[in-house]
Amino acid sequence: MKQKTILTGIRPTGNIHLGHYFGAVKTWKKLQDQDTPFYLEIADVQALTDNFHQPEKVRKNVRELTIDALACGIDPKKTNIFIQSMIPEIAELTVFYSNLVTIARLYRNPTVKAEMKQKKELFGEDGEGITYGFLGYPVSQAADITAFHGTHVPCGDDQIPLLEQCREIVRKFNNIYGNTLVEPEAILSENTRIKGLDGNEKMGKSLGNAIFLSDDEETVTKKIMGAVTDPEKLKKDDPANPDICMVYYYHKLVNQDYVDTVCSECKRGARGCVACKKELIASMLAFLKPIQEKRNYYLEHLEEVDEILKEGTENARKLAKETVQTIKEKMQIHYFE
């Protein structure tokens, strides 16, 4: 039985919002407390597959994301944070694995297909403008995972097809070159998808319905005051249905102790929406406060952030080098001692 290793990745394309926090980061925090190696990859190379025209955006967000993660309580003593592009071994593995995957299979990947549809301005109406790099990013993700012998991958359900692709590559590699790699398993987050302020099934930066960890009081207030509530409730004392109200939905996330009261008062018509929103704003600001204090600390100590990234990357690279060495031997492309 191989040792358990947890690995996950995140694309540096924007700051962390509540969707990331409750959908992913909260799970990472639990996992980092287990006595298992935990690798967190800042996937800048993957981010470039659909942001190749915006290198400054990806660059800026590598540090921003790291600061957000640290502010949320990701502890560099427990979690090895590293930058993908600084581990050239991942790129090497990607090339080796690319022989084990058909183009047809990549086109059929549901996650790739869905993203292609969302990015018509980049890849064209029918995906005729899709790049080799974007189509192949699942192969690169398989390299991300296997370079560190990742056995468990915390992720959302949108990542399942990518993990399946990785498992296929692992099986094919092991069949041809001999048993070397392990097939990773997903650790699904409790709450994979956090709804947006507008009631959309997904909170997303590009959807304009997100609360960011870095949002200040004024922004949080404005966003929550505009959140979607039960449209049938017209007057303050009308009874309403909390299950379709986003204010109630976020009360459940940040105000667990009090949420039963919110629910019953809302149903009875004993809770006006404005007062309910004001309470949520106060709880949200209290939730964000310690995170923002930590964020500010790291913003003022950028050298510490860089040190964490450098150290994490150096550590991770050692392991990736060993993996590539083994893989080259198996593939018979090792020539000199």
What is the contact surface with ligand TRP in residues (CB under 6 A)? 7-11, 41, 43, 46, 141, 144-145, 153, 155, 159, 162
Q: How far is the CB of 115 from ligand TRP (least distance, A)?
A: 9
Q: Which is nearer to ligand TRP, 46 or 109 (CB)?
A: 46
Q: Which is nearer to ligand TRP, 245 or 309 (CB)?
A: 309
Both tokens of 202, joined, read 């997904």
| Residue listed under structure tokens 């459940």 | 252
DSSP string over 44-108: HHHHHHTTTT-HHHHHHHHHHHHHHHHHTT--TTTEEEEEGGG-HHHHHHHHHHGGGS-HHHHHH
Burial class (CB in 10 A: 0-12, 13-18, 19+), 260: exposed
Handedness of CA 208, 121, 86, 317 (dihedral sign): positive
Q: Which is nearer to ligand TRP, 144 or 279 (CB)?
A: 144
Tell me which residue has its CB nearest to ligand TRP: 9
Q: How far is the CB of 161 from ligand TRP (least distance, A)?
A: 10
Q: How far is the CB of 321 from ligand TRP (least distance, A)?
A: 19
What's the rounded Cα separation, in Å, for the pair 330 and 181?
11
Q: How far is the CB of 14 from ligand TRP (least distance, A)?
A: 11
- Cβ-contact 104, 110 below 8 angstroms: no
- Cβ-contact 39, 6 below 8 angstroms: yes
Both tokens of 239, joined, read 């009874």
Q: How far is the CB of 40 from ligand TRP (least distance, A)?
A: 10
Q: How far is the CB of 153 from ligand TRP (least distance, A)?
A: 5
Q: Which is nearer to ligand TRP, 11 or 223 (CB)?
A: 11
Q: How many CB atoms lie within 10 A of CB 255?
A: 19
**How far apart, in Å, are the Cα atoms of 213 and each of 32, 102, 192, 219, 247?**
21, 40, 18, 11, 17
Sequence-ordered alpha helix ranges (H) in the chain: 18-20, 26-32, 44-49, 55-71, 88-97, 103-108, 110-118, 120-123, 132-135, 137-146, 160-177, 217-225, 246-254, 259-268, 273-300, 302-330
Phi, psi of 288 (to 5 degrees): -75, -25
Q: How far is the CB of 11 from ligand TRP (least distance, A)?
A: 5
Q: How far is the CB of 41 from ligand TRP (least distance, A)?
A: 5
Q: How far is the CB of 235 from ligand TRP (least distance, A)?
A: 43
Q: Which is nearer to ligand TRP, 161 or 199 (CB)?
A: 161
Q: Which is nearer to ligand TRP, 155 or 288 (CB)?
A: 155
Q: Which is nearer to ligand TRP, 141 or 313 (CB)?
A: 141
Q: Which is nearer to ligand TRP, 7 or 327 (CB)?
A: 7
